[in-house]
Structure 1
Amino acid sequence: MNTPIVKSIWDQATGSWQYVFHDPETMKGAIVDPVLDFDPLAGATSTANAERLLDYVRETGIELVWILDTHPHADHFSAAAWLKQQTGAPTAIGEKVTGVQKLWQGIYNLPADFATDGSQWDQLWSDGDAFMVGKVPVKVMFSPGHTLASVTYVAGDAAFVHDTLMMPDSGSSRADFPGGDADALYDSISAILALPEETRLFVGHDYAPGREAQCEATVAEHRAANIHWKGAPSRTEYRAVRDARDATLPLPKLMLAALQVNIRGGQLPETESNGRSYLKVPLNYFQSR
């Protein structure tokens, strides 16, 4: 099994993990789920996280061949568009992103000419698509549940599982966002944990419950110790746990800001007549918890 080198970079502000993986033989690599910084009090974006990724790529001598989003994130902005501007590397996401775009176009009341065909990315992957990063084979697994568009990238013996699984002591990710579904998440986790037991699973988030932030555990470790999966729960048992947990969770602090950027592939909304971009908030669409 091909073994890519994986660099994980932690964003404490959003609890997000972002990754660079590369083939050590050819030095070709890819970035997964890069973070564009956003200060909600100032309404200001910045590129500190993306620059950390870019510095690592350049210092290591990696030839960047892809910038990969797993899904439109609810808790941070995507830096995919900015990184493409800096490097020329193409961007990609799963093809079901078009459904997320249409869903949130309605929530934000975006104009009819807002593109909901995924054209903000250079490549839309289908379930089962395969591509190479150097000599590392990468397979795309459609893995909805957290969102209706989520994909997992299985790169050699490493799988970037985004917001399906958390670390074993935290369980799995929520399924109560618009387009989310606990039954679909059960199926996605089942498929991920059917990968070879030595497969390294890299999660999208860790909120470090009383320990240092972590990002990696094997399939075998999740099967044995994941608090939402050990004991091989039935679909009904898993859904009961997931639904009960989701009912206690507030919406992510940046969700209403982040989604309108992330359904644009990380591009800010179009500038208005004064040259500035603006974010919209759909008042009273979501009930507070």
Structure 2
Amino acid sequence: MTDDPLRNAAEIIEKSTEKDAIPSVKSFFDEATFTASHVVYDPATREAAIIDSVMDYDPASGRTGEASARKIMEFIQAESLNVVWQLETHAHADHLSAAPWLQEKLGGKLAIGAHIIDVQNVFGKIFNAGTDFARDGSQFDHLFADGEKFRVGKLEAVALHVPGHTPADMAYVIGNVAFIGDTLFMPDFGTARADFPGGDARQLFHSIRRLLSLPRETRLYLCHDYKAPGRDTYCFVTTVGAERDGNIHVHDGVSEAAFIKMRQERDTHLAMPNLLMPSVQVNMRGGHLPEAEDDGVSYIKIPVNRL
């Protein structure tokens, strides 16, 4: 293989046409947060990765729950899978990660992109997290660099840095499929917002075009679906070809300038995610709650008039 991350990803996808190199994927959809979590595994070795898991959170009461994560755990146990990775595509702003809870139950290294450090620096200041909050990514077991190769059993994999939605977004090509987080949605819904602190519409355009240079038949597993107008079912699996042909925001032929103009105008009318405050404070800590205070309770801060 070359040192070109995209060429490496394409080669992995092409090689995965072999029968013993095709991954199996089981997806779980959390309708409360419109989030799709995925378990990808090697049928031969039974090694698995869990991607973008969800911890239930009730903002009215401040209570967490494990019902969504428990479904993933029960599937892993029923299929006798060995979890080797707990992967996050980015520090989510719409749901709390269940990775630490699942890691305690099932194992696996907790990993995210190396640019999580940038996110920690930005949001550490916004939430006045204090000097006790480490801004070095040490809450995670592994920080992926762009183009870094890894494995899930016999399945070859590569991590791709795809910033724009946030500075730390990653896509994971595993076998002949790719898990692309919040860069793209289904073709009839478009693309991710780029107005969070550290987001950038120009970067997002280039990250999307990078992903869409993968082979057309590559299956793309998304992190969210919101049911576009006129569609009655949730969908979170598409292909490079379908996105290139029909994505309403960024299909082939849409220029960089047109995309940036559309994205910036659209983002000014979007409300903040309902769970942004708790989600970012937890997810920038690797899915862990803020340190308990002297009464033994963890607290979520709400900065007034800051965001």
| Smaller-chain TM-score bracket | over 0.9
What does residue 142 of structure 1 align with?
A: 161
Are 2:301 and 1:280 aligned? yes
2:23 matched to which residue of 1? Answer: 4
Q: Say if 2:240 is the partner of 1:214.
A: no
Q: From 96, 117, 122, give the equivalent of 2:136.
A: 117
Deviations 1:76-125 (A, max 9, x none): 00111111111222100000000100100100111113101101010000
Given candidates 45, 52, 57, the residue that maps to 1:26 is 45
Of the candidates 210, 220, 227, which is equivalent to residue 248 of structure 2? 227
Aligned to 1:246: 267
Give the structure 2 partner of residue 189 of structure 1.
208
Letter of the 1:54 counterpart:
M
* Amino acid in the other structure paired with 1:38: Y
Say yes or no: does 1:270 pair with 2:298: no
Counterpart CA distance in 1 for 2:86 and 2:120 is: 19
Identity %: 44
Distance in 2 between residues matched to 1:111 and 1:231, nearest whole Å: 45
What SS class does the counterpart of residue 259 from structure 2 fall into? helix
Aligned AA for 2:226? Answer: Y
* Counterpart for residue 12 of structure 2: none
SS in 2 for 1:77: coil
- Paired residues in the alignment total 286
Which residue, 122, 125, 128 being the options, matches 1:106?
125
**2:103 matches 1:84:** yes
Deviations 1:172-210 (A, max 9, x none): 110000110000000100000000111000111001123
User: 2:8 maps to which residue?
Assistant: none
CA–CA distance in structure 2, aligned partners of residues 231 and 82 of structure 1:
41
Structure 1 vs Structure 2 CA RMSD: 0.8
Return the letter of the residue paired with 1:194.
S
1:166 pairs, out of 180, 185, 201, with: 185
The CA distance in 1 between the partners of 2:109 and 2:89, in whole Å, is 14
Other structure's SS at 2:269 match: coil
In structure 2, runs of 5+ residues without a counterpart are 1-15
1:59 to 53, 78, 88: 78
